[in-house]
Chains A and B, each alone.
Chain A
Amino acid sequence: MMTSFLFRTLDARAGIFIGLMLAAVVLVPALNLLVPEGSTFHVPTYAVTLMGKYLTYALLALSVDLVWGYCGILSLGHGAFFALGGYAMGMYLMRQIGTRGVYGDPVLPDFMVFLNWKELPWYWYGFDMFPFAALMVLLAPGILAFVFGWFAFRSRVTGVYLSIITQALTYALLLAFFRNDMGFGGNNGLTDFKDIFGFDIQAGTTRAGLFAASGLALVVCFLICRAVTRSKLGKVLVAVRDAESRTRFLGYRVEHYKLFVWTLSAMMAGIAGALYVPQVGIINPGEFAPANSIEVVIWVAVGGRGTLVGAVLGAILVNFSKTWFTAALPEIWLFALGGLFVVVTLFLPKGLLGLMDKGWSAVRRRPAKDTAAHRAEPQPAE
């Protein structure tokens, strides 16, 4: 039943997307590990890690698109859920270091020894076991989102006010995690990881494995988002986005729907964070910075809001250009990036995917004028 629930809604675009993702999951690690280094087809390990990082950003963008594109909740604080997932993973990786730390303490991470702590705080218990840490990757962002959403949605906080409190949420966490006595490494965060599941975290094979895991997580979460948005529940979400009070008068409890999709989205952001941390090798309070969360919204807008595939495309494209601009145009890369955002918001209100759709229907219109005229979608005047 679960499989038919996940797959019953696939169309051509979703199929192409999943096909490409699965091909990348197989090909990139293969080209990295099996092709000798001198060959033109060899993918260097640093590139694998970089692409793996893009995929975790893409998953984060996907989670933002689920709440913003389909339910109209503009979250400017999704970075908080991403970072919480990252911290849960980071805590597991810290406990894996064991006696190999600078101070050689078998239980306490270095920063605790440095702060003269004598024993592990209670909330670090259990993080030496991966299943527990994995559960926390989902529960820490999930519970925070549930509690936050419970109060916000029940009080009918919407629109720009909700966006502002999501900013406040991530900013409050930023300040809290900066404090040393929080027990999460303060300013420096968690780093110096040695291995994951017993594999060396720096090794090429581990990097390739993390890339593949990120790709698979993205595909699975995409399928879940797709099934959710194509179900009747997804139609209710869009109804809430377009006419919230009308939905209430039809008898739907809008706050329950928002809470469901908000919590689901926060958990996906947590998974993205958990996959991000072992690939970049560090998690610190900087990940809670409000600017990070705003950037995610821009990725989604660039790719095309409310399309899922667009969010992934936008995240990968913007981050790739960021990497490329910083290397190719170090002086003006910020201007180039800013220009890209201005162009997209001014000329591509539906993002890159909207542009592709428009181009595609223009190509199809030429041979068959009548069918295009009857298309259900409202076409903007050209």
Chain B
Amino acid sequence: MTRQTSLLYLDGVSVSFDGFKALNDLSLVIAPGEMRAIIGPNGAGKTTMMDVITGKTKPDSGEVYFNGVVDLTGEDEASIAELGIGRKFQKPTVFESHTVWDNLELALKAPRGPFATLFHIISGAEKSRIEELLTLIRLSDKRDELAANLSHGQKQWLEIGMLLAQDPKLLLVDEPAAGMTDAETMETAELLKDIARTHSVVVVEHDMHFIRALGVKVTCLAEGSVLAEGSLDHVSANERVVEVYLGR
């Protein structure tokens, strides 16, 4: 696929920290509407890749394009978020001293400037959108609860809800099933498949059952570059993947 028709286009991206190559000539292309799962051992560069896409880390070399035309290496976190890339962190990060409702309200797509928010009065449309999201992430009865009091799995879901509230074109989801029970993991997979119908999604995950439940194209990273790409069966049949990741 060419850069012009892609949604996310990484070509030859390298990042090093004090001589350690976190990303080494990484190339990855996500098509509009695609859902992609990323697997790989610890230190393969999965989180660094997300940092590069969202503007937290600047690559030493290589190209990063969004929508085929926007060069992400020249933008900061806030403008990349405004362009339509949302991110869920590995460790669930919600605003603990805000209620569930306020967390969603803050994430909701709306003007982000200080004066716009100072005089903002929540509209009926915004309220019903938050209600919808609350139902979707099954936290309707917790709306007035402080996010600090949610369970680990609920925080994960709240963060996914906040991602959706942003209404991004591309969702980057880092280990959504971490710390969840098997049943919760499967529910999360269903939720993500649902989301993928209307959004492009990149999921990083270790849980093979979860990846299998998603049933999408898989990219395996190791030592900062792509080791194998294809269907889960294809990737897990790869000898190198078995060696460095799936294990012995």
Q: A-side interface residues toward B, CB under 8 Å?
A: 5, 228, 231-233, 235-236, 238-239, 242-243, 245-254, 256-257, 260, 376-378
Contacts and interface: CB of A to CB of B under 8 A. Distances in A.
A242 B144 CA distance: 18
Most chain B CB within a 10 A radius of its CB, from A233, A245, A257, A260:
A233
Given A245-B56, A249-B87, A376-B145, A5 B119 contact: yes
B4 interface: no
Interface string B98-119: 1100100111000011100111
Contact of B117 (A233, A248, A376, A378): A233
Which of A238, A246, A378 has its CB near the most chain B CB atoms (within 10 A)? Answer: A246
Given A245-B56, A260-B114, A253 B106 contact: no
Given A250-B162, A256-B113, A376-B145, A233 B118 contact: yes
B216 interface: no
A376 B79 CA distance: 34
22 contacts: A5-B119, A231-B120, A232-B117, A233-B120, A236-B106, A238-B97, A239-B98, A242-B95, A242-B98, A243-B93, A243-B94, A245-B77, A246-B95, A249-B54, A249-B77, A250-B107, A251-B81, A252-B78, A256-B113, A257-B114, A376-B144, A376-B145
Contact of A250 (B106, B120, B122): B106
B146 interface: yes
A253 B112 contact: yes
A257 B106 CA distance: 14
Identify the interface centre among A5, A248, A250: most chain B CB within 10 Å of its CB. Answer: A250
A256 B112 CA distance: 10
A231 B119 contact: yes
Kindly state the interface size class of chain B when it binds its partner: 35 or more
A377 B106 CA distance: 20
Contacts of B96: 242-243
Contact of A239 (B95, B114, B120): B95
Interface string B135-173: 000000000111011000000000000100010000000
Contacts of A257: 114
B93 to A, nearest CB: 5
B89 interface: yes
A236 B117 contact: yes
A-B pairs, top 6 by smallest CB distance, nearest first, are A251-B81, A248-B77, A233-B117, A232-B120, A232-B117, A233-B118
Contacts of B82: 251
B95 A233 contact: no
A251 B93 contact: no
B97 to A, nearest CB: 6
A126 B118 CA distance: 34
B87 A235 contact: no
A263 to B, nearest CB: 11
A246 B145 CA distance: 20
Given A233-B117, A238-B97, A243-B93, A253 B78 contact: yes
A247 B54 CA distance: 13
A253 B76 CA distance: 9
A1 to B, nearest CB: 8
B140 to A, nearest CB: 15
Interface in B36-86: 54, 56, 76-79, 81-82, 86
A30 B120 CA distance: 41
A232 B118 contact: yes
A257 B116 CA distance: 11
B106 A231 contact: no
Contacts of B98: 235, 238-239, 242
Contacts of A377: 146
Contact of B166 (A231, A235, A245, A250): A250
B190 to A, nearest CB: 25
A376 B102 CA distance: 13
Given A251-B78, A378-B148, A239 B106 contact: yes
Contacts of B78: 248, 251-254
A235 B149 contact: no
Given A232-B117, A245-B56, A249-B77, 8 more contacts: A243-B95, A249-B54, A250-B162, A251-B112, A252-B78, A253-B112, A256-B113, A376-B99
A246 B89 CA distance: 9
Q: Considering residues B56, B78, B89, B146, which has the most beta carbons from chain A within 10 angstroms of its beta carbon?
A: B78
Contacts of A250: 81, 106-107, 162, 166
Contacts of B119: 5, 231
Contacts of B162: 250
A26 to B, nearest CB: 32
A251 B105 contact: no
Nearest to A228: B118
Contacts of B113: 253, 256
A242 B162 CA distance: 16
Given A376-B99, A377-B146, A378-B146, A231 B118 contact: yes
